[in-house]
Amino acid sequence: MAAAATGEVYANGDWKMSIRLIHLTTCATTFAVLAGATTTAWADFTPLHSPPGSEADHMSIFEAFYSPGTAWYASGARTDADGNAVDLTNGSLVATRVDDFGFGGVLDAQSPFFGEVDDQTWTGAVLTFTAVARYAGYTQEFGYDLDDDGLGYLKLLDVHGSRMNVSGSATLELNPGDSLAWMRDGNHGGRFSSRVADNPDALDHMVSYYVSGMNDDLARWMLFWEDLPGGGDKDYNDLAVEITAPIPEPGTGATILLTSGVYILLRRRLS
């Protein structure tokens, strides 16, 4: 069973794996680059619609939260089913969109190497959550449903404020082997899960990104939610929550990661 925890969990070591020097988006991107492809369409990303009026889109939310004054823009060859680019950058930070469906598996929030896994089921160790934005007229809260504990939805935080002027934070400690779905709830619209099959309308209500380039030894994720049944206006900006998790220190020896046929040798400290 999960329990709340605070404080520093991983001490800084005298050596760190150069994770940031290896920028993996997904294995699909790797194959596109190796093949010299310029554009590739992917059906496993939920398409996003432009927000109405003065509401912020994902690029504007990333800019306001991470790099005020430095604009974000679409980057890379990966696109959703409508042909829209899915990865974003401001030239130094990169937000790599995580697949919304099609792979299954369990995404480890501590690791940037998500490869062939979608964003519906997650795991981790000690996770920290920060409310980022609320572009919705209804209340927003964020929580989770831990697999196999029989408790159902458990709230992590309420979101206070609106637009980019919001507050709300929490920390969650998971036991080894725990897996869960993220959930959004509020006073209208219904309770929705990161797992499409658990939603009453059988639609995807959450899209997510892996954010790299901060150079702070954290795996960093941004979750964006749509809060109305039937997909609402499909701009996925009703609720935005950041998740951070310490990247574990590597062990000794050498590890070879096999990601859909692409081998990547990671150098590790030798004792």
For residue 14, the one-letter residue type is D
For the domain spanning 19-266, the CATH number is 2.60.120.400
The domain limits of the chain are 19-266
- Rounded distance between C-alpha atoms, residue 72 and residue 51, angstroms: 16
pLDDT of residue 26: 37
- Rounded distance between C-alpha atoms, residue 13 and residue 17, angstroms: 10
pLDDT of residue 256: 32
- Rounded distance between C-alpha atoms, residue 50 and residue 44, angstroms: 19
Could you give phi then psi for residue 40, rounded to 5 degrees?
-140, 130
DSSP E strands: which ranges in the chain?
Answer: 40-41, 73-79, 85-89, 94-97, 107-108, 122-123, 126-133, 141-146, 153-158, 160-162, 165-167, 169-173, 180-185, 192-193, 206-212, 218-225, 239-246, 255-259, 262-266
User: Mind listing the pLDDT tens digit of every residue in the chain (271 residues)?
Assistant: 544 433 333 333 333 333 333 333 333 333 333 233 333 344 599 999 999 999 999 999 999 999 999 999 999 899 999 999 999 999 999 999 999 999 999 999 999 888 889 999 999 999 999 999 999 999 999 999 999 999 999 999 999 999 999 999 999 999 999 999 999 999 888 899 999 999 999 999 999 999 999 989 999 999 999 999 998 999 999 999 999 999 988 762 333 333 333 323 332 223 3
- Residue 191 tokens, joined: 């309770």
- Rounded distance between C-alpha atoms, residue 48 and residue 205, angstroms: 11
pLDDT of residue 249: 82
pLDDT of residue 66: 98
For 54, residues 6+ apart whose C-beta sits below 8 A from its C-beta are none
> What percent of the chain is helix, strand and coil (3-state, nearest 5)?
10, 35, 55
pTM of the model: 0.79
Helix (H, G, I), strand (E, B) or coil at 207: strand
